Amino acid sequence: MHEIVILGGGYTGMAAATVLAGRTKGRDDVRITVINASDRFTERLRLHQTATGQQLADLRIPEMLAGTNAALVTGWVTAVDPESGTVRIDDEREIRYDRLVFALGATADTTAVPGADEYAYTLDSAHAADALARRLAGLGGGTVAVCGTGLTGIEAATEIAERHPGLDVLLVGDAEPGAAMGRRARAYLDRALDRLGVRVRTGTRIAKVLPDSLTTSDGESLAADVVVWTGGVRVPALAAAAGFTVDDRGRIVTDGSLRSVSHPGVYAIGDAAAIRQNYGVMHGTCQGGIPSAVHAAYSLMRELDGREPGRFRFGYVHLPVSLGRRDAVIQFTRPDGAAKRLALTGRAAVWYKETVSSSPWQTFQRLTRTPAAGLFSWRRGGQYTR
């Protein structure tokens, strides 16, 4: 019996699980175990909608895995022992593995700034987003400060501004919103922020979060009734504690096949992995996470058949950003992430983003039926692009 254990039931973990389950269906020598803190699948890409009171589909992992040779174990992973090939969860159970897929992802880094962990809301989980939704619904007015001008911060700020027009929304961070976009897309984004009444404060580093304000690095105080933290992410310390070779951010360093360079029986995918390509280390996005999960799954199947895993190569395609429910901007990119001249805006961009970010369950079902080359196109020497 080949015991494959997948840590994490998010986009990457479930993509790997469904591909493996679909491709090993009917085999009685493979057992797949997904370990996740909850039985609920969280559409993390849509948590800014949950945070404004919108209801999303209630997807349950056991139902998604029903009828396959994959099963869910619910619990928090507390330790990994690669020497004995075991994973320990919070009820002290130990689960043995022959091959491990590390897909625990990342969370908002609320430890870097004093007060952020205590006073700021995040979009890390459905529970956290629900808590923010209740807080926003109870505000009769006031200021919501969204800290972080990256894509998550932009989507959160615009969603809150659209759903709660009576609130003053401040988007604050060091960089300009849409800094990686081309001129046309960035200009459209600026107009959308202005239309929605989102105030933008850039060139600002937050030094402290207080119950009713933010303190900047130059000592200025910014009033804020609610703080939403989207600036920077961190990965669990489990990988480093287990003895895996990690980078300076705690991500597992992988070889060309996505295996840990120190423990080749472990695959690392998505935000948990430091995956180097010819243009540098991939940044954590769903756009790259799912292809890495599919590649890991197919490589595991090659190993089951006594073959060597293939090399992973990936190129980016786009930067898709929602601007509320009725607007969006899509910046198309080169494989290294640099902006092209082409961009979509308005209704066309909304349609595009909703199509790309459609139900994850439908995507996972397609993953079980379609060869990898049919799921992703190949370009520039064999780079995965979604």
pTM of the model: 0.92
Q: What is the pLDDT of residue 81?
A: 97
Same domain, 216 and 263: no
Mean pLDDT (10-residue bins), the chain, 386 residues:
95 94 89 96 93 93 92 97 97 96 94 95 95 96 96 97 97 96 98 98 96 96 97 91 96 97 96 94 87 94 92 94 96 96 96 82 66 42 39
* Cα–Cα distance for residue pair 8/102, rounded to 1 Å: 7
8 Å CB contact between 7 and 35 = yes
Would residue 348 count as lying in a domain? no
Same domain, 367 and 251: yes
Same domain, 73 and 99: yes
Would residue 322 count as lying in a domain? no
Among residues 170, 132, 114, 113, which one has the least CA distance to residue 54? 132
Same domain, 159 and 94: no
Same domain, 140 and 204: yes
Count the domains in the chain: 2
Same domain, 98 and 6: yes
Same domain, 211 and 246: no
Would residue 247 count as lying in a domain? yes
**Which residues does 22 contact at the CB level (< 8 Å), separation at least 6?**
68, 367, 368, 369
Same domain, 138 and 286: no
End position of a domain, from candidates 229, 247, 264 = 229
Same domain, 271 and 377: yes
Would residue 263 count as lying in a domain? yes
Q: What is the pLDDT of residue 379?
A: 38
Strand pairing report for 273-274 and 383-385: unpaired
Q: What is the pLDDT of residue 369?
A: 61
> Which single residue is written with the structure tokens 């159970």?
93
* Cα–Cα distance for residue pair 161/195, rounded to 1 Å: 10
Long-range contacts of 21-26 (CB under 8 A, 24+ apart): 21/65, 21/68, 21/69, 21/70, 21/368, 22/68, 22/367, 22/368, 22/369, 23/297, 23/298, 23/301, 23/368, 24/69, 24/301, 24/304, 25/68, 25/69
Same domain, 90 and 14: yes
**How do residues 102-146 score in pLDDT, each as one tens digit?**
999 999 999 999 999 999 999 999 999 999 999 999 998 999 999
Q: Which domain covers residue 241, as residue numbers? A: 2-106+235-315+360-385
8 Å CB contact between 202 and 215 = no
Same domain, 266 and 293: yes
Q: What is the pLDDT of residue 286?
A: 80
Q: What is the pLDDT of residue 385?
A: 41
Q: What is the pLDDT of residue 361?
A: 67
**Which residues does 146 contact at the CB level (< 8 Å), separation at least 6?**
153, 156, 157, 160, 169, 170, 171, 172, 228, 230
Same domain, 198 and 61: no
